[in-house]
Structure 1
Amino acid sequence: MSADKPRWRIAADSETVERDLSRLVLTLIELIRQLVERQCVRRMEEGNLTDEQIETLGVTLMRLEEAMEDLCDRFDLTPEDLNLDLGPLGTLLPSN
């Protein structure tokens, strides 16, 4: 490499790799969960869902949220840990 280009290295500490990878995966799952939840609310508000479908989606979304909380607890992560800072773009997940 030339002297004017910085070398990018990954600091792979064996004790933090699992937690960091878990954080990344859970962040992506949380992003998708929030997108699906917004889509469900939009469809419900438009009247595109039956009462049975609304009930099923509500229960499913609650279970998914509980599973996310359990996984965060398992890896000692908070919801704030999942909200990655994208620099000038702000954070990945919307603030509640």
Structure 2
Amino acid sequence: MDLDPESVERSLVALVLALVELLRQLMERQALRRLDVGDLSDEQVEQLGSTLMALEQKMAELQEHFGLTPEDLNIDLGPLGPLLAE
């Protein structure tokens, strides 16, 4: 067990960012489904696109700040496979 505080912090940040990235991908897929069905107004499409782009940018900034790569966030769930879609 590695009890180095910096290592623990990095692992915790990686876990939190992995969950945020999973939620971001799910929100993006849901938005695309709603867009395909015509369930969103032009204003909602614009707002949703801006929000998802801002979230993606913030995720990239946090990954860079903590020295994490996208691969670091793709947690291996064993027999279930990786957490995030490729």
**TM-score grouping bracket, smaller chain normalisation:** over 0.9
TM-score (norm 2): 0.95
Question: 2:38 aligned with 1:34, yes or no?
Answer: no
Residue deviations 1:29-67 (CA, integer Å, cap 9, x gap): 000110011111110111000011101100110000000
Instruction: Give identity over the alignment, percent.
Output: 59
Higher relative contact order (CA 8 A, sep 6+): 2
Which of these two proteins has the greater Rg computed from alpha carbons?
Answer: 1
Q: Count the aligned residue pairs.
A: 86
1:67 corresponds to which of 39, 42, 58: 58
Where in structure 1 do 4 or more consecutive aligned residues deviate above 4 Å? none
Structure 2's unaligned 5+ residue stretches are none
- Whose helix fraction is larger, Structure 1's or Structure 2's? 2
Equivalents in 2 of 1:49, 1:75: separation in Å? 36
**For the aligned residues, what is the CA RMSD?**
0.9
Structure 1's unaligned 5+ residue stretches are 1-9
